[in-house]
């Protein structure tokens, strides 16, 4: 028996309208600039559509006039389902200024490169470990960007150190903005970081900036471009010198992990598994988890990406089997730990294991009560559960959905 319309997920609705049009997945993918594999994953619920413009493009191709017919709910204001975060307007205004003038109006003395590095490290500490990081960090980012530019302009003989820290600031902006659904601003931040890095002769800095750009390209659906960038940067760092530092090896391995996901999103999971095996070899050479340039690279992160890759392929059973052997390192950044829990949750969701899905949703909220609100997959999972809620967990489910903002 067919599911009632109100019980269908966004992916299932896209599949329904596509079938009504007599259109193949390959045809739909071609018309919206995506692969057949990407359409298949969206329809299965393996990956979300977190771009409003892409959803509108699909609706146009399928002849759907009201986006609510594809989402099953009123149109959200942002990809995460809520209004623009209060910190975004000031960050946008700051990034719109000429880089050569940023920081001139700040009524404090110019920081030394060492003082700036300490301040940026403190900001990263908040982002990676504070469970209310968006509220705590958002108001300080515009001034931090200004201070970083002003310090870099006045660094003189310490310019390389100041440039490295300025790249770190833009990398922080990229991940912060990406998580809030501000993908255009995140792309600008990542591009500026990569441009700054390529003015130096520092292969680690170039690799770290490229890793960040790969992340935003893949997030934007530009997986082929992400894969090309990862491979070209890996080429710059290859071969690993015999006396390579742990930082060098870590960035080299992190680029392979970026390529894993880009390959999967490009419709070549076989290449993704090959790259994951190579990343595992690099992680074993490194020997332990590190977080150089916020990449979280090490044996644990590689294992986590095995779970991710199986989920991307739609093999939820394999994803959960692999997850059984992954012990989360509490020293890893909060975002990485939370994102992994979301991937495990989504594997349970794809298997229609409602109790398992709800259990993982609670684990995500316990890990980060603020972070849970910014994952489209979380919101989609909650909506699915609400459609077929049971008396045994109705109260817990509705309370969680209310806290996340899925229901009023």
The domain spans of the chain are: 5-71, 88-200, 206-332
Mean pLDDT over residues 152-168, rounded? 94
Threshold 0.75, pTM exceeds: yes
Q: Is the pLDDT of residue 138 over 90?
A: yes
120-129 per-position pLDDT tens digit:
999 999 999 9
Of the candidates 269, 295, 144, the one whose C-alpha atom is nearest the C-alpha of residue 210 is 295
What is the structure's pLDDT at 82? 53
Higher-scoring residue by pLDDT: 278, 74 = 278
At residue 244, the 3 state secondary structure works out as: coil
301-321 per-position pLDDT tens digit:
999 999 999 998 889 999 999
Domains 5-71 and 206-332 share a fold: no
C-alpha distances in Å from residue 240, one per residue of 226, 235, 237, 285: 22, 10, 6, 11
325-358 per-position pLDDT tens digit:
999 999 999 999 999 999 999 999 999 999 999 9
What is the structure's pLDDT at 76? 43
Of 35-49, 146-160, 252-266, 318-332, the one with minimum mean pLDDT is 35-49
What is the structure's pLDDT at 75? 47
What pLDDT band is residue 50 in, cutting at 50, 70 and 90? low
For 49-86, letters b (16+ CB in 10 Å) and e give bbbeebbebbbebbebeebeebbbeeebebbbbbeebe
For 5-71, CATH number? 1.10.260.40
CATH architecture of 206-332: Alpha Horseshoe (1.25)
- What number of other Cβ atoms are within 10 A of residue 306's Cβ? 23
Q: Is the pLDDT of residue 197 over 50?
A: yes
Helix (H) or strand (E) holding 309: helix 299-312
Distance CA 220, CA 226 (A): 10
What is the structure's pLDDT at 79? 43
Q: What is the number of alpha carbons within 13 Å of residue 277 lying toward its C-beta?
A: 5
- Sequence-distant (6+) residues with CB within 8 A of 221 are 33, 34, 38, 51, 54, 265
Q: Is the pLDDT of residue 237 over 70?
A: yes
What pLDDT band is residue 1 in, cutting at 50, 70 and 90? very low
Distance CA 245, CA 109 (A): 35
């Amino acid at each position: 028996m067919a599911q009632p319309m109100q019980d269908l997920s966004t992916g299932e609705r896209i599949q329904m309208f596509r079938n009504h049009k007599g259109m193949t997945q390959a045809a739909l993918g071609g018309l919206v600039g995506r692969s057949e594999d990407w359409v298949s994953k969206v329809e299965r619920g393996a990956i979300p559509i977190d771009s409003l413009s892409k959803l509108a493009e699909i609706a146009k191709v399928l002849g759907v006039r009201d986006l609510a017919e594809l989402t099953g709910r009123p149109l959200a204001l942002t990809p995460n389902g809520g209004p623009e975060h209060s910190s975004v307007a000031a960050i946008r205004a700051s990034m719109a200024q000429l880089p050569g003038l940023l920081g001139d109006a700040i009524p404090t003395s110019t920081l030394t490169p060492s003082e700036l590095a300490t301040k940026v490290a403190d900001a990263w500490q908040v982002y990676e470990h504070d469970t209310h990081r968006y509220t705590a960090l958002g108001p300080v980012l515009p001034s931090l960007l200004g201070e970083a530019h002003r310090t870099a302009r006045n660094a003189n003989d310490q310019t390389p150190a100041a440039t490295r820290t300025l790249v770190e600031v833009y990398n922080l902006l990229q991940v912060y903005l990406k998580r809030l659904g501000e993908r255009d601003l995140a792309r600008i931040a990542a591009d500026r970081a990569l441009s700054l890095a390529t003015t130096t002769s520092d292969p680690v800095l170039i690799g770290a900036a490229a890793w960040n750009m790969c992340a935003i390209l893949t997030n934007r659906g530009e997986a082929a471009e992400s894969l090309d960038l990862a491979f070209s940067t890996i080429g710059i760092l290859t071969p690993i010198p015999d006396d390579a530092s742990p930082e060098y090896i870590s960035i080299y391995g992190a680029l392979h992990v970026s390529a894993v996901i880009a390959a999967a999103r490009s419709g070549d999971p076989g290449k993704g598994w090959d790259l994951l095996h190579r990343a595992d070899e690099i992680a074993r050479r490194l020997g332990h988890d590190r977080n150089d340039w916020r990449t979280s690279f090490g044996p644990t992160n590689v294992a986590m990406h095995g779970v991710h890759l199986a989920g991307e392929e739609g093999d939820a059973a394999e994803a959960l089997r692999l997850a059984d052997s992954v012990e989360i390192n509490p020293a890893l950044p909060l975002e990485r730990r939370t994102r992994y829990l979301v991937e495990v949750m989504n594997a349970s969701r794809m298997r229609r294991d409602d109790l398992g899905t709800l259990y993982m949703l609670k684990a995500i909220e316990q890990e980060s009560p603020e972070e849970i609100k910014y994952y489209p997959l979380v919101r989609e999972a909650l909506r699915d559960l609400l459609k077929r809620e049971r008396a045994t967990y109705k109260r817990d489910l509705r309370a969680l959905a209310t806290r996340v903002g899925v229901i009023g």
